[in-house]
Every structure is written in structure tokens, then in C-alpha cells.
Chain A
Amino acid sequence: GENVEQHPSTLSVQEGDSAVIKCTYSDSASNYFPWYKQELGKRPQLIIDIRSNVGEKKDQRIAVTLNKTAKHFSLHITETQPEDSAVYFCAASKAGNQFYFGTGTSLTVIP
């Protein structure tokens, strides 16, 4: 099955700086890559996603890039704010089947 690896496991940045989280996947047939944010004690919530026919997608301060050849995708958060502090999970899915999740990145934004 698919194997999704996520790095780093923890990340601390100063408020206003950028944060980058990277994921790799093993199955070249995977074609949908969502990112979820999970605040402490709350449900994971979708923040952005990308499909394999697109190389980059942006939504305000959040962007995701996809490199199909290298089989990796990244989450970029610019102008970080304290409320961005949370655990972020990447995931990969193919042909509408199940989703495989990374192990998560705990992001701390220091005011």
C-alpha cells in the first residue's frame, strides 16, 4: 500500500516567518493530496488540497506544491500567526480509495 512520510515532526518559527512542511509518498498512482490542521482536542480540518494535474495551489497565506516526478508535496505557510499553531497532517489518495496520512508536524508559532 501507500506510504506517506512527513517531515519535520516538530517545527518552531517566529511570528511572521514562513513555515514549510514536506511529505513524500510511495505510490505513483496517488492523485489527490489534502492537508489537514488539527488543533488540540479538535477534529482534523481540511485547509488546502491539490490534485495531480496541478503543480501548485494557493489560498491566501497557505500554498501547496506538488512534484509528481519526485513524489513529494509541501505545505507553505507565510506570515505565520500564533493561531497557526497546531498539528498539520498530509495525506495521499488514489482513484478515490482510502486516504493515507503522514505522522503529523507540530507547528509552534512564537509571538
Chain B
Amino acid sequence: DTGVSQNPRHKITKRGQNVTFRCDPISEHNRLYWYRQTLGQGPEFLTYFQNEAQLEKSRLLSDRFSAERPKGSFSTLEIQRTEQGDSAMYLCASGQGAGAPLHFGNGTRLTVT
């Protein structure tokens, strides 16, 4: 068990560009969550999957954000036409089933210039 892995660790992009992040959960975990965290704030929910099914997406989430988990293993989070307000740490977490504790990855820090 190597824990939750996220790539890349850092991403700097120019406004208007598209970016994609990857998350590899703990192998036996069927739930995968994406959160966004800005300085001084708690993690803000974006979306989560059970296996390959996307069960919930935050109402606050712009349609520029999309996430996939095609085979129920790794997941990708894409942000299209990035804006400066998208700059944040994007955290992925996984869990074994409903109501199980979350195990977080180290995050991808996005900076939009």
C-alpha cells in the first residue's frame, strides 16, 4: 500500500489553458473524492466516485471542471479555460466504501498566471 498518489505535484499554467491532474487511489478503495483547498481554508468538496460512477458533483463547481474515473481505478480532473481564481491545492482522497475515513494524497498545487 503506497497510499494515494497525485500527479503532478505542481502545475503552473497561463490563464485560458487547460490542465489535467491525475489521482491513483489506494488499490482496494472503491471511493475516490476530489477536493480543493485554498490557503487558510478547509478542503472544499468538488466531486466523488464510487467505482466508475460519479455519484455527486458540487453545485458550486463550474462546468469548466470535469472528472472521470473510467475503469474505477485512477481518476483525472480537468479544468478547461483556467482562471486565476482556480489557483489552489487540489486534493484527492480515497476510502473503502461508504462512511469509511478518507485517505488523502499530497495534492496538486495549481498556479494560474
Do these two chains really belong together in a complex? Answer: yes
Contact call A101/B101, Cβ cutoff below 8 A: no
Contact call A45/B33, Cβ cutoff below 8 A: no
Contact call B48/A98, Cβ cutoff below 8 A: yes
Contact call B45/A44, Cβ cutoff below 8 A: no
Contact call B101/A96, Cβ cutoff below 8 A: no
B43 contacts the other chain (Cβ, under 8 Å)?
yes
Q: Which residues of A contact B26 (CB under 8 A)?
A: none
Q: How many A-B residue pairs have CB under 8 A?
A: 55
Q: Which of A74-111 contact B (CB under 8 A)?
A: 89, 91, 93, 95-104
Secondary structure of the A contact surface, majority rule: strand
Residue of A nearest to B46 (CB): A98
B102 contacts the other chain (Cβ, under 8 Å)?
yes
Checking B56, B103, B104 against A97 with a beta-carbon cut-off of 8 angstroms, the contacting residue is B56
Contact call A98/B42, Cβ cutoff below 8 A: no
Q: How far is the CB of B42 from chain A (nearest CB, A)?
A: 4
The interface size of chain B toward A, counting residues with CB under 8 Å, comes to: 24
Contact call B104/A45, Cβ cutoff below 8 A: yes
The interface size of chain A toward B, counting residues with CB under 8 Å, comes to: 25
B77 contacts the other chain (Cβ, under 8 Å)?
no
Contact call B42/A89, Cβ cutoff below 8 A: yes
Contact call A34/B42, Cβ cutoff below 8 A: no
A44 to B40, CA, bound (A): 13
B91 contacts the other chain (Cβ, under 8 Å)?
yes
Contact call A98/B99, Cβ cutoff below 8 A: no
Residue of B nearest to A100 (CB): B45
* Contact A96 to B98, CB < 8 A, known contacts A43-B91, A46-B103: yes
B25 contacts the other chain (Cβ, under 8 Å)?
no
Q: Which residues of B contact A103 (CB under 8 A)?
A: 40-42
Interface CB pairs A-B, < 8 A, 24: A6-B42, A31-B99, A32-B99, A34-B101, A34-B102, A42-B106, A43-B4, A43-B91, A43-B104, A43-B105, A44-B91, A44-B104, A49-B101, A89-B43, A91-B42, A93-B99, A96-B98, A96-B100, A97-B55, A97-B56, A99-B33, A103-B41, A103-B42, A104-B42
